[in-house]
A = this chain, B = another copy of it.
Amino acid sequence: MGNLKKAKSIHSKPIDQYTGIEVTGDFEPFEQKFDIYCRAMWDPKIKSQKTDAFFDGYYMPHAKARATDGFSLKDYAFRNAAWHVNNVIRDIEKSGEFRQEKPNEIRKEGFWDYYTSHDQGWHEPYPYENAAEATRDLKKIAGFCGIGDLGVCRYDQRWMYDSIFSMQGNGQKPQEIPKDITNVIVTLEPMDRDLIKTVPSALSGAATGLGYTFDGVSIITLAQYIRNMGYRAYATLNDSALCIPLALQAGLGEVGRHGLLINEKYGPRFRIGKIFTDMPLEISKPKKIGVREFCDGCDRCAKACPPKAIPFDAPSDHVHSESNLKGVVKWTPSAEKCFKFWANQNTDCIICIRTCPYNRDFSKLIHRLWFKLAASPFRGLALKLDDLWMDRGRLKTSHWWRPELEKIEKNDHSKRVKKRK
């Protein structure tokens, strides 16, 4: 994982040698206002009629339904419905019902701000025998909340947003998660593989929307449980802190070339949630699963990315703009190129997930065996096998809606071929 001695900086921590995170002397904590989606709210270099239309399109009256496969009314209707409950919970605070102390502030909970739609919990912390008891209970309940995978790491100030994005003033307001929080629970909510096969399409955004909706419901439920046991708990999705370094520290996987986390159960196909808490919990161990070495020799996502936002070269601390984290050696995609493509096609894009060799159904033994091969010195063979046997191509959206059409079209095609013969 690179030369750790060379990279050692005052910002490094002992855990970095287990996660493979290399922090340099140039490290600076991230200001959320520079997140590409936040910049689309205020930065004229990013914000445009197209980016406005992109966001508006998540509401039906503004959906740009058209004849192109993947962008029909049905595709937008499902995508926007998939996001809907997430939007409702996200915007609750706007009403002032749940945070009467700040009725006029615009929050976007789960994206800009942590969730506040909580009821009062128990008045004193439950006296667990030990962290093992609390962790066992938490994991049991997480399963019932629908959480796919879960790890715990220590609170790490480095990955907290230094300031939170605000639509007011200069776009910054103070971080609200208290610094004396001790632990971070990191959760994964899987996304559907078949929906993702249709990317680029408005339809594939339904996988993302459902991911966010159920991730939000799960972590709010779990955070309410922790509050009900008398501890503090702040449920967060993309807000408040960087997800990936925390997920690495919580032992949930490794980062791939596309800059996304790769997990043993779900590959690159999930949403991340985080709960900041002072509940005493056992800390998970970071785990190397062979992704870094595999991605070193694989460029399938970089090749497939239409705007060429994913780097072909080795991990470095090069940043494309202020939307990237400074002072960490890693594969860093260009947020500008990526988001511009989203805005141009009027929906989000995850072609990098569709084409990733780790985008497999690991509930099946054959794919778990492939994972072991990919983590072994025979990783070159694993990639070859993937090239040969896995279909990384796009599934026509009309075929997603009606799988029987695929067969009919194939038959038609072979009939035509036969005729020609």
- Contact status B221-A87, CB under 8 Å: no
- Contact status B206-A213, CB under 8 Å: no
- Contact status B146-A228, CB under 8 Å: no
Report B-chain residues with C-beta under 8 Å of the C-beta of A84.
118-119, 220-221, 224
| Known A73-B229, A94-B97; contact A144-B60, beta-carbon cutoff 8 A | no
Closest to A61 in B: B120
Task: Confirm or deny: A126 has a beta carbon within 8 angstroms of a beta carbon on chain B.
Answer: yes
Q: Which stretch in A4-12, A75-83, A285-293 binds the other chain?
A: A75-83
Bound Cα distance A224, B63 (Å): 14
**Given B77, B82, B220, which contacts A229 in the complex, CB threshold below 8 Å?**
B77
| Known A81-B228, A82-B221; contact A73-B126, beta-carbon cutoff 8 A | yes
Task: Confirm or deny: A315 has a beta carbon within 8 angstroms of a beta carbon on chain B.
Answer: no
* A99-151 contacts to B (CB < 8 Å): 117-123, 126, 136-137, 140-141, 144-146
- Describe A's contact surface by its main secondary structure: helix
Task: Confirm or deny: A59 has a beta carbon within 8 angstroms of a beta carbon on chain B.
Answer: yes
- Contact status A228-B144, CB under 8 Å: no
**Given B85, B96, B117, B224, which contacts A81 in the complex, CB threshold below 8 Å?**
B224
| Known A117-B88, A192-B144, A217-B85; contact A80-B401, beta-carbon cutoff 8 A | no
Task: Confirm or deny: A321 has a beta carbon within 8 angstroms of a beta carbon on chain B.
Answer: no
Bound Cα distance A123, B62 (Å): 11
Bound Cα distance A225, B87 (Å): 14
Task: Confirm or deny: A92 has a beta carbon within 8 angstroms of a beta carbon on chain B.
Answer: yes
| Known A95-B95, A120-B61; contact A76-B228, beta-carbon cutoff 8 A | yes
Bound Cα distance A119, B81 (Å): 9
- Contact status A146-B214, CB under 8 Å: yes
**Given B61, B87, B192, B228, which contacts A123 in the complex, CB threshold below 8 Å?**
B61
The 10 closest A-B CB pairs, nearest first, are A77-B228, A95-B95, A81-B225, A95-B97, A81-B224, A84-B224, A88-B117, A60-B228, A77-B229, A60-B122
Interchain Cβ contacts under 8 Å between A and B, 30 examples: A59-B119, A59-B120, A60-B119, A60-B227, A61-B122, A74-B229, A76-B228, A77-B126, A77-B228, A78-B228, A81-B221, A81-B224, A81-B228, A82-B221, A84-B119, A84-B221, A85-B220, A85-B221, A87-B119, A88-B92, A88-B117, A91-B97, A92-B95, A95-B97, A137-B401, A140-B401, A144-B192, A144-B195, A144-B210, A217-B217
